[in-house]
Structure 1
Amino acid sequence: MALIFRWLIRLAAVLIVLCVLTVATVYWLAARSLPDYTDDVSVEGLSAPVEIVRDNANVPHIFGQTDADVFFGLGFAHAQDRMWQMITMRRTAQGRLSEVFGTATLEVDKLMRRFDLYALSVQSVQALDARTTSALEAYAAGVNARLAQINSEALGRGAPEMLLFNAPMAPWRPADSIAITKLLGVQLSGHLAAEVIRARTSLALPDEKRLLDILPDSPGSGIAALPEYAELVPGVSKFANNIPLNPHPLSPFKKQAFAGASNAWAAAPSRSASGGTLLANDPHLGFTAPAVWYLARLELASGGVIGGTIPGMPVVLTGRSAALGWGLTSSYLDDQDVYVEELNPDNAQEYRTPDGFKPFVNKSSIITVKDADPVTLTLRWTDNGPVLPGSHYNLASITPPGHVTSLNWTVLSARDTSLGAAMALMEAKSVDEGIAAAEDYIAPSQNLTLVDREQIALKTIGAMPRRDANHQSQGRMPSPGWITANRWQGMMPFASNPEFVAPVGGILGNTNNKTVDRPFPNHVSFVWGDTQRVQRWQRLMQTRQVHTRDSFIEAQLDTISFTARSLLPLIGAELWFTGEAAPDGTPERQRQRALILLAGWSGEMNEHLPEPLIYAAWLRSLQARLIQDELGPLAEEFDHVQPLFIERVFRDVDGAGVWCDVLQSARIEDCAEMARLALDDALLWVNETYGTQLESLRWGDAHQATHDHQVLGDVPVLRYFVNIRQSTSGGDNTLQRGRTKGTLPDPFQNVHGAGYRGVYDFADPDSSVFVTSTGQSGHFLSRHYDDLAQLWRRGEYIPMSLDADLARAAAVGVTTLTPASQ
């Protein structure tokens, strides 16, 4: 027995030693890819030495003798810190994820191949001016120089993920940067999903008034009534199954609720305490680790530029120079139209056009799949755009037999000059020059907020489709593609895009709210991204005569919910302080405690308070009760509270109170009863999930920001090293926006918000500040992987200065790139 015990001890010791050696080996291999920021590297492709000075937040300040050399340095810096992110985004745009991840990403690749974004990007290179082409080539050379260094010095393949997913790294090309621009357009798109949802809801709710309840227009002048979808496209069934969208983490196709969002506001000198212009911007995208954004400073011939870049693209998308600041918000311009194409009953390879049947333009595409057989696709294009599969956003549910659907979209331009416009914007010295620079911008459409030292402006940029006044659905629902009036008539002139320059009030801004109310076809959109945050923004801007950098920061971090303040008095009107005190432990007593808490609540969505969780759960349960019987399975698509819908129902606008009656029951329920039952539902769920002590609840426990690694985030054990989770304030409708997931089991996880925040003060430009939601490095062993995350969570910032001496004073390293010939 003693002998057996001794051998077991020895065996255990051997296993422990082997485990330690394995972990040490893996760590050593992974650590090899950590970049050395204090380095001298001999590279091909430079005309003169380039210096990359990294300040104490690891923000690179790049200095070179020519602009091309500076872009080379940016490419090198991006590749040092975000190689895996760049390679993955390129594969996504190319439809080549399955070469690395197998069948798990096959559906993503199929969709991306149908859009053919990469081929369009290759063609777009020929449309760029010489300056932009030179910048893209220099940037690509910088990325490739880092790849060459990784290979020659055996630097762990550049990132730990590259060791785990062994795949070849092709050299970077100028078209790759354009492809990532187009990929951003995919992530920000929402009109395709909006058209399908409206068509499906029209089939379920033939009454136009009820359709306008659940899918209301943003406040403003109304529009003429549209035909029902069943009349527009006869033969479609209203009973098609609902396929819930559950995209792979690497998929750029998201629900409409997660289409682009953002905040930006500006103050003229007359509204600034310091006498200089002010600008705040926080673009919203899905949270990931690392963040989408990467901070950088470029010292160009036209002057220094600093702000937020996206790895893979050689431009500062939001930031400032010494003379000009610019910020971006999603414009919600209607840049997508879905078409129903009729197949030739005698030849399924043809589709109907205004001039008769015409063959599809076909192209074969082979997808290589790791550990599986290759998949061959036949890509079909019509005059209107690519043919899409019926599973995409439930298109099959609105497509009658003998038809297919296609999509026209500004992102699908083969002459995409958007990067050229972004290059010109970095060199602009004034608001007027900035607006002129944006004329060549194509997609994705944005609201560009500009400030120079004297003037402020907002301009919607991006190609705006010209539609016929007789378009059957006005672009709001899929329409027959063979009718000439439904087809695009080219693009509107840039001058027709909305523009606001030097407003009399001295303040302008955008929270994705409705900006103009022009009649169709000169409208911008029927679908807007916000009706709520803008109310709080208006109050904060107008309650001060003058603003400062700090007041703009305060507004950026504001967590008061206008929605909560406006809806709670409505839905609880007949519940507050009514009835006798109920015994402890009963549902009635729990409801009374919840109502007492909410009655004294200011609407602040603070992470430490219980009221935001009770409120959010109540409204979620209430909407579910109101729509489930009318919409059936389609109700799953409405997984975020629609504030205007709740308001219409409880104010009984145009008879909307009828939603409170349960169709399947014999009795007639009223809205007060629905509110009470929904609150009981919510409290039951809260009790089961978080406990019965309402006063001890914390919104932040439910509203955790999920900065998850898109590939390793679900891997056991490893996920604790690569994911960044944080308790956060805010919510769907606060200026400090934290868009919730919407689906069980964690419906209130914070999954979409400001990955970048910047506030620029042109009275003292070097006092400007910015921050991102994670850190500069994409390497999870780097201290810069998450060093900015806690600052971001606490609402803190780092200096945004163009002072070279300040950057050098506390630099974490200086990388010098030297031409190989020197």
Structure 2
Amino acid sequence: MALIFRWLIRLATALIFLGVAAIALAYYFASRSLPEYNANREVAFIAAPVEIVRDNANVPHIFGQSDADVYFALGYAHAQDRLWQMTMLRRTAQGRLSELFGERTLGIDEVLRRFDLYRTAVGSVDAQTPETNAALDAYARGVNAWLAEVNKGALGRGAPEMWLFNHAIAPWQPADSIAILKLMALDLTSNLEDEVLRARTSLLLENDRLRDILPDDPTNAVAALPEYASLIPGVPSYTPNMRLAYDPLSPLKPAPLSGASNAWAASAARSATGSTLLANDPHLGLTAPSIWYLARLELETGGIIGGTIPGMPVVLSGRSDALGWGLTSAYVDDQDVMVEEVNPDNPEEYRSTTGWAPFRTRDSIINVKDGPAVTLRLRWTANGPVMPRGQYDLGTITPPGHVTAISWTALSDRDTSMSASFAINHSRTVEEAITAGEDFIAPAMNLTLADRNRIAMKTIGAIPARDARHQSQGRLPAFGYLAENRWQGRFPYGDNPAFLDPPGGILGNTNNKTVDRPFPRHITHKWGDTQRINRWRRLMQAREVHTRDSFIETQLDSVSFAARTLSTLMGADLWFTGDAAAEGTPERRRQIALNLLSAWNGEMNEHLPEPLIYSAWVRAFQQRLIRDELGPLAEEFTHVEPVFIERVFRDIDGASVWCDVIQSAPVETCTDIARQSLDDALVWIAENHGAAVEAVRWGDAHVATHDHPVLGKTPILEWVVNIRQSTSGGDHTLQRAKTSGMDPHPFYNVHAAGYRGVYDFADPDSSVFINSTGQSGHPLSRHYDNLGELWRRGEYIPMSLDPDLARAAAVGVTVLRPVAP
């Protein structure tokens, strides 16, 4: 027995030793790809020495003697910190993920191949200005210089993920950067999904009920606010499936998780400091690392600083010493689903406006890891690429003998959006930036601007021109062979909405309706916000003048206008009713919940129970309303639509009929459904967060999921690569933190402001910014998540163009020198 025991001890010791050795070996190989920031390197393709000074937050400040050398160094810095992320973005755009991940990503690759985004990016290279092509070339050479360093120095293949998914990395090309911008357009649009969902829902409901569940925006258009002096004094009062499974690697997000953002500006007259202010926080899906990368570039026209996306050499949101710019999704109706009739006698032809015409076709081969290659027959009509029935639920709305083609502005192979972005970066005034925006094609954005004296907002991007006789006005799929359903080019840039120096001195956008224009001059039928704008308008008009700090407070505001309105409507007949109930009974828990909500101001604070009670209640309420009318289609409505709930409670156009359960004999009232859904919500809370309803916390359910797209679900590694945080905010707060809407964690925060910036032109170097994780994409780097906790707490880091400040606490200085002759 003693001998066996001794051998067991030896075996356990050996296993422990081997485990420790394996971990040490893995750490050694993974850490080899950590870049050394204090370095002197000789590189080709630069004309003079370039410095990359990384401040104490690891933000690179790049100083060179020419723009080309600066863009070279930005490519070098991006590749040092985010090589894996860049290569994944490029592979996604190319439709080549399955070479690494097998059948898991085959559906994603198929969609990207059919859209043919990468080929249109290659075609767009020649359409750029000479200055833009020079910058793209320089940037690509910088990326490739780092790849050469990795190969020369055996630097861990450039990223730890490369050890698990080893593949050769092709040299970076200018088209790769353009392709990533097109990928951003795909991420930000949801018109295709909206058309399909509206078509599917219209098959089940009459028009009045369709207007309830998929409502038009009932609010007034808001961009510029009126003069402060003209307002009533005081604070205004508030009154009462056939698609691909979601994959973190996919740019094909569910429609409720399409792009959103906030931006606003104040003129000198509305600023306490006598100069302009601008704030911007673009909202995208949360990942680890963040899609955003902070950088400062010292160009020949002066310094610029702000948020970049690795793979693109432009500052998408930021400032120079003279101009600030911010972006919000404009929600332009830039996609149409065209139903094309196939010739029954020849499946290679479709009906055009003049008769049968051949599909344009090409074969494309997708190589699949651990599986056979897949050959796709790509087809196009005059309206755009043909999508198969199995994508986007198109099969549910496509009649027999037909296929669907997609018209989309981003499919241009003469896309000059990158040149427009460079021109905006080099602009010095509001007028110059607006002029530069004319060449922007996709994605359509609202460009908010402030120089030292003026503020403006201009919609940039192509807006399709539709015929006034269009069968569905672009709201539903329509027959592609009818000339009146086809696009008639695009509207002139001068017709795009513009707001310059409004008399009230304040302008902004929360993805809300900005203009009221009848079809076909409309911008869109579906805006991205009907709720946040109400809170923003109140906060802007509550002060006669604003400061940098008041703009920060507005960015971080977590009061939900929707929660204040809907909780009042749903609880109106339930507050303080009924007899006292015994402790532990469902009735008692309902009374506790109602008492909490009755005194709540709608603040979605992570430490409070009320936001969780409200969110679970209104979600259960909507599901009870729609389940019997929509059946399985109800699963598509994953997020609460406040306008729908309000229409029901206020019985607008008879909408209260939704409260009656069709299958039951009694006639239920909305109060009945509200009471039942509150009980549903409290049962769900008890099962998931504990029975003591007054002790639950919103932050325990509303966890920000900065997950690694590839390794985020890998046992053990997930604890290293994922960043999880309790957060405030919600779907309809200015501190927007969009929930997943999907069980088992419907309130996870999955889509939020990955970048925040506030720019003060009275003292530009007092401007601030932040990203949601950190600068590095390397999980072993201290800069992988060091900004994440600041972001969670609503803190920022200095956004200064002062080189001395950058050098004062630099974590490293990299000097790139030309190769000696």
* TM-score, scaled relative to structure 2: 0.97
1:496 aligns to 2:495 (yes or no): yes
1:393 partner SS:
coil
Q: Give the residue type in structure 2 aligned to 1:41.
A: R
| CA distance in structure 2 between the aligned counterparts of 1:570 and 1:607, rounded to whole angstroms | 23
Counterpart residue number, 1:25: 25
- What is residue 756 of structure 1 aligned with on the other side? 755
Distance 1:770 1:505 in 2: 27
Say whether 1:623 aligns with 2:622.
yes
Distance across 2 between alignment mates of 1:9 and 1:712 = 35
Residue identity matched to 2:694: E
Query: Are positions 1:261 and 2:297 aligned together?
Result: no
Matches within 5 A, 1:373-388: 373-388=372-387
Give the equivalent residue in structure 2 for 1:329: 328
Paired position in structure 2 for 1:783:
782
Q: After the TM superposition, which parts of structure 1 deviate over 6 Å for at least 4 consecutive aligned residues?
A: none
Aligned-partner residue type, residue 328 of structure 2: T
Alpha-carbon distance, 1:7 to partner: 1.9
Matches within 5 A, 1:481-520: 481-520=480-519
Residues 245 and 255 in structure 1, CA contact (< 8 A), matched pair in contact too: no
- Give the AA of the match of 2:446: N
1:103: how far off?
A: 1.0
Amino acid paired to 2:611: P
* Residue identity in the other structure for 2:631: G
Q: CA deviation at 1:221?
A: 8.1
Say whether residues 1:199 and 2:202 are aligned partners: no
State the match for 1:441 in structure 2: 440
Cα shift readout 1:623-653 (whole Å, capped 9, x = no counterpart): 0000000001110110100000000000000
Indicate yes or no: 2:769 matched with 1:770. Answer: yes
What SS class does the counterpart of residue 581 from structure 1 fall into? Answer: coil
Which residue is equivalent to 1:58? 58
Q: How does 1:57-76 map to 2 (within 5 A)?
A: 57-76=57-76
| Secondary structure of the structure 2 residue equivalent to 1:620 | helix
1:812 partner amino acid: V
Residue identity opposite 2:128 in structure 1: L
Residue deviations 1:469-526, cap 9 Å, x none?
0000000010000000000011111000000000000000000000000011111000
2:315 equivalent in structure 1:
316
Identity %: 67
Q: Provide the rounded CA distance (Å) in 1 between the counterparts of 2:289 and 2:717.
A: 15
Contact 2:242–2:391 (Cα < 8 Å) also in 1: no
Map 1:627-666 onto structure 2 (within 5 A): 627-666=626-665
* C-alpha distance in structure 1 between counterparts of 2:243 and 2:709, whole Å: 20
Stretch of structure 1 that moved more, 3-12 or 175-184: 3-12
What is aligned with 2:300? 301
Tell me, in whole angstroms, the C-alpha distance in 2 between the residues paired with 1:389 and 1:349. Answer: 15
Matched ranges for 1:25-424 at <5 A: 25-205=25-205, 207-220=206-219, 242-243=241-242, 246-424=245-423
Unmatched tracts of structure 2, length 5 or more: 222-240
Which digits, 9 at most, give the CA deviation of each residue in 1:548-571, with x for residues without a partner? 000000000000010011111111
How far apart in 2 are the matches of 1:729 and 1:665? 39
**AA of the residue aligned to 1:797:** Y
Residue in 2 that maps onto 1:581: 580
**Partner residue, 1:230:** none
Alpha-carbon contact 1:712-1:719 (below 8 Å) kept: yes
- Report the Cα offset of residue 354 of structure 1: 0.8
Q: Distance in 1 between the 2:243 and 2:817 partners?
A: 53
For 1:792, the equivalent position in structure 2 comes to 791
Q: Deviations over 1:514-553 (max 9, x none)?
A: 0000011111000100000000000000010000000000
Show structure 1 runs of 5+ residues with no match. 223-241
Residue correspondences, number: 802
- Return the alpha-carbon distance in structure 2 between the equivalents of residues 819 and 99 of structure 1: 37
Shift of 1:610: 0.2
Whole-Å Cα distance in 2 between the matches of residues 373 and 42 of structure 1?
A: 44
Task: Write the distance in 1 (CA, Å) between the matches of 2:564 and 2:6.
Answer: 71
Post-superposition offset of 1:4: 2.0
Cα distance in structure 2, aligned partners of 1:25 and 1:684: 48
Name 2:226's counterpart in structure 1. Answer: none
Cα-to-partner distance string for 1:96-119 (whole Å, 9 max, x where unaligned): 001111111111111110011111
Name the aligned partner's letter for residue 269 of structure 1: A
Following superposition, the deviation at residue 220 of structure 1 comes to 4.9
Matched, 1:738 2:747: no
**Counterpart amino acid of residue 572 in structure 1:** G
**CA deviation profile, 1:713-769 (whole Å, cap 9, x unmatched):** 000011000000000000000000000000100000000000000000000000000
Deviations for 1:272-291, whole angstroms, at most 9, x for unmatched residues?
Answer: 00001000000000000000
Give the partner amino acid of 1:139: Y
Which residue type is aligned with residue 319 of structure 1? G
Distance 2:14 2:105 in 1: 40
1:457 maps to a residue whose letter is A
Could you list the per-position Cα deviations for residues 279-330 of structure 1 after superposition, in whole angstroms to 9, with x for gaps in the alignment?
A: 0000000000000000000000000000000000000000000100000000
Counterpart of 2:251, as a letter, is P
Query: 1:689 Cα shift?
Result: 0.7
Specify the code of the residue in structure 2 equivalent to 1:128: Q
Q: Distance in 1 between matches of 2:413 and 2:286?
A: 30
Shift of 1:603: 0.6
Q: Distance in 1 between matches of 2:752 and 2:7?
A: 57
Q: For 2:14 and 2:45, how far apart are their aligned partners in 1?
A: 51
Q: Secondary structure at the match of 2:350?
A: strand
What is the correspondence of 1:552-563 to structure 2 with a 5 Å cutoff? 552-563=551-562
C-alpha RMSD of matched pairs (Å): 0.9
Q: Closer, same or farther in 2 for the Cα pair 1:221/1:706, shift >3 Å?
A: closer
**Shift in Å at residue 253 of structure 1?**
0.2
Moved more, 794-803 or 663-672: 663-672
| Structure 2 counterpart of 1:179, one-letter code | A
**Whole-angstrom CA distance in 1 between matches of 2:48 and 2:686:** 66
Whole-angstrom distance in 1 between the partners of 2:9 and 2:666: 74
Report if aligned partners of 1:48, 1:64 keep a CA contact under 8 Å in 2.
yes
Q: Secondary structure at the match of 2:179?
A: helix
Q: Is 1:569 the equivalent of 2:581?
A: no
Residue in structure 1 matched with residue 708 of structure 2 by the alignment: 709
Question: Is the contact made by 1:93 and 1:180 (CA closer than 8 Å) also made in structure 2?
Answer: yes
CA deviation after TM superposition for structure 1 residue 249, in Å: 1.1
**Partner-residue secondary structure (3-state), 1:348:** coil
Correspondence for 2:229: none
User: Which residue of structure 1 aligns with residue 459 of structure 2?
Assistant: 460
Paired with 2:675 and 2:20, the residues of 1 have a C-alpha distance of 58
Residue by residue, what CA displacement relative to the aligned partner does 1:54-100 show, whole Å, maximum 9, x if unpaired? 00000000011110000000000000000000000000000000111
Residue type at the aligned position of 2:717:
L
Contact 1:220 1:517 in 2 (8 A): no
Whether the 8 Å contact between 1:75 and 1:143 is mirrored in structure 2 is yes
